[in-house]
Amino acid sequence: MSNMSKFIDLTHTFTDHMPVYPGDPCSRLYQSAWIKDGGPADHRIESCMHVGTHIDAPVHMIEGAATIDEFPIEKFQARGVLVDARCHTLLQPDILNTQTIHAGDAVLIYTGWDKKFRTDEYFASWPYFSPAFANRLVELGISLVGMDTAGPDIEEPFEAHKILLPSDILIIENLANLDELLEIKDFTFHAYPAKYQADAAPVRAFAEIA
């Protein structure tokens, strides 16, 4: 990364009592030690992996598949392509027709839904992928797909997840601030997860503009 680059943070701040997918256990982030008590400050976290801005690994939906720690670090950065999907509820392949997408790219789906984060409406419904849209991303050979919603599926059987993850297209959910990329033609997307031996991990996601 160049010292002359500009960076746009695409990550929701992780706080105590984060919004969680309906049915998931509540998350906690709280202070457990204080300087005033004579020692260093410390915090504890209690959370499932699918909270806040995070990345899904194939084992999330495929028994015995790769966990997030098994991917090399270069997997988590790629040329970024922003897809403006604000006028769509069910995403179909035709919204990709105006984009130039190469194998290995990171495709980011901007819906504006992140502005509802921390409200009851965020998990009530959201724009989601049709199976045809997910299959088109597989055909294009992309590396990562991210969205400013709770995920590419809105309900079981999680078809888009099960199309994307077997092709090692990792899924970044609950992105923020994608609107700041609307006028940006060229950027690199970064989403580095904690190295957990797990089906997902929190990420610090950002765009780098040279």
pTM of the model: 0.95
User: Which pLDDT belongs to residue 2?
Assistant: 57
Q: What is the mean pLDDT of the chain?
A: 97
163 sits in which H/E element: helix 159-164
User: Which pLDDT belongs to residue 1?
Assistant: 60
Please give the structure tokens belonging to residue 9: 């943070």
How many C-alpha atoms does 58 have within 13 Å on its Cβ side? 16
Instruction: Report pLDDT digits (tens) over 18-60.
Output: 999 999 999 999 999 999 999 999 999 999 999 999 999 999 9
How many degrees, rounded to 5, is the angle at CA 72 between CA 68 and CA 73?
Answer: 95
CATH number of 6-10+51-209: 3.50.30.50
Instruction: Report pLDDT digits (tens) over 124-155.
Output: 999 999 999 999 999 999 999 999 999 999 99
